[in-house]
Structure 1
């Protein structure tokens, strides 16, 4: 990966010299625009950089270039957020604690897991997945299959559960393993969020905006415990289509999987009948329908 990245940077610089007579950040921005015009346009409207200086330095070093080599920034800013997170986590060394993982999530995704834990938002579960429960039981000096301490585990804050799990794994989780753990404990699917960037779908969950831009067409909003889900259009949707109404094709598909359409409020609503957080498989199905609607009816039009 590092060698490929260096070759890409070299190609950018050579082309910059040929086209402009000099090396500058303008070409890096131009390359980003050509790679993903919509991403570039969304980025241009922001006054601040996409990532903090410490994140950018860490990723530059992780990619094998000098930490001050800003010509690489155009490439970094178009990388999937999960890749940026991997490089940033690596900058902490071989042992990465829970608080450092949470810092990385806030720095890269702008999601405050400490706040989610403090307010006890996120997944409402009777019990965590087996891998989490078994590690927590061991951390409490119980056998992996023992249920004697399960009530105590479920009474812990999400941060405490995360920290105990990571400690039990000797602080050696990979970026992917950390994201899986976060989804299991907090109900925050960072990999899914990374894939949603520039998809024109805003996501509000756990009392925070998870994904949001000025060109979003739809909003997917979940309750603080992820038991309820609502979908509605944005002001941008109205401005470009001339209508506030949800498209019939979207309404039909979501009603078929259990949503209810509220005509007065112009929103689609779903509540998990089990009283627990909506499972990942259902979230994925809903997101797939939303993305499919945008791709077939609105992509390259708005």
Structure 2
């Protein structure tokens, strides 16, 4: 009998290898998946975007809603790519119990790293003579007082939030909870989520709301959001060689009402009536910066 030719030996080797791989897939699919994938495989414990408790809750929801059809790798990838808003919504859906104000504030800190209790203790947040009717009318349903506005003014913002959630028997949807947080604390979680990886650092109400080492511009607001200043980061200066905002961006900010304030060495805006800058103005400012970065510095 003739010895196998070189071509035949190669064919036999390929067949043996295929049989071995096939057996491995049938016996240990997760190991096989990790072995043949060129992408790095992260386990839940290796993820750093959110705390382990949040990851566990989100994973539970994803498995339940997808009827267990997601692999651990797919779950990890979904969580890593989730916006903070989506992470908050998905995590809350894993909660079997009613969410009190203190628990919601803890979740906000775990996902956003924003300390709402610190904002409350500082007395920071939206500057207003009274809370919006949406807040006061709801609280009035469970508090028996003659002057609800005066009563609420003497409460901390965290206490106002607690009463508001209680008035709805702790059954508000996540989106409604975020609306309440914005109305009470002046903290727009939906807007903040959109700033992730935008190149914009946001300092507001005594703490960093959004920040990374590669941010290009800083938006710095006062504790009560009455005034805003904008200036370039050290990273921007190093990468571009510029010591100030680009002229084109300066001109765009001037059209919104900003001017260069030499005292603070930044482009500056203050509400003429001494009230907190409204959301639409914040949105215009951030939108302008995001568009400018996208058009001019997407490679930084």
Q: SS at 1:124's partner residue?
A: coil
Distance 1:89 1:264 in 2: 45
Partner of 1:21: 35
Shift of 1:183: 0.4
Q: SS at 1:290's partner residue?
A: helix
Partner of 1:38: none
Question: Are positions 1:281 and 2:284 aligned together?
Answer: no
Distance 1:159 1:194 in 2: 21
Question: Are positions 1:135 and 2:138 aligned together?
Answer: yes
Post-superposition Cα deviations, 1:213-247, rounded to whole Å, max 9, x if no partner, equal 11100000001111110000001101110111101
Partner of 1:75: 78
Note if contact 2:140-2:148 (Cα within 8 Å) is conserved in structure 1.
yes
With 198-207 and 48-57 compared, the bigger mean Cα shift is at 48-57
Distance 1:15 1:91 in 2: 25
Shift of 1:94: 4.5
Question: Are positions 1:93 and 2:92 aligned together?
Answer: no
Q: How does 1:195-274 map to 2 (within 5 A)?
A: 195-262=194-261, 266-274=265-273
Distance 2:42 2:215 in 1: 26
Partner of 1:161: 160
Distance 1:116 1:193 in 2: 16
How many residues are treated as equivalent by the alignment? 265
Partner of 2:187: 188
Shift of 1:53: 0.7
Distance 1:21 1:49, change over 3 A: closer
Post-superposition Cα deviations, 1:251-290, rounded to whole Å, max 9, x if no partner, equal 1111122111135754100111111111101100111111
Q: SS at 1:202's partner residue?
A: strand
Give the number of the structure whose alpha-carbon radius of gyration is greater: 2
Shift of 1:92: 2.8
Distance 1:176 1:133 in 2: 19
Note if contact 2:131-2:149 (Cα within 8 Å) is conserved in structure 1.
no
Partner of 2:6: none
Shift of 1:83: 1.0
Distance 1:285 1:135 in 2: 31
Match of residue 106, structure 1, among 106, 109, 121: 109
Distance 2:155 2:95 in 1: 26
Q: Which runs of 5+ in 1 are unaligned?
A: 1-12, 30-46
Distance 1:211 1:152, change over 3 A: same
TM-score normalised by structure 1 residue count: 0.81
Question: Are positions 1:292 and 2:295 aligned together?
Answer: no
Post-superposition Cα deviations, 1:79-126, rounded to whole Å, max 9, x if no partner, equal 111111112222332511111110110000000111111111111111
Distance 2:30 2:252 in 1: 47
Q: Which runs of 5+ in 2 are unaligned?
A: 1-27
Q: CA RMSD in A?
A: 2.5
Distance 1:110 1:24 in 2: 33
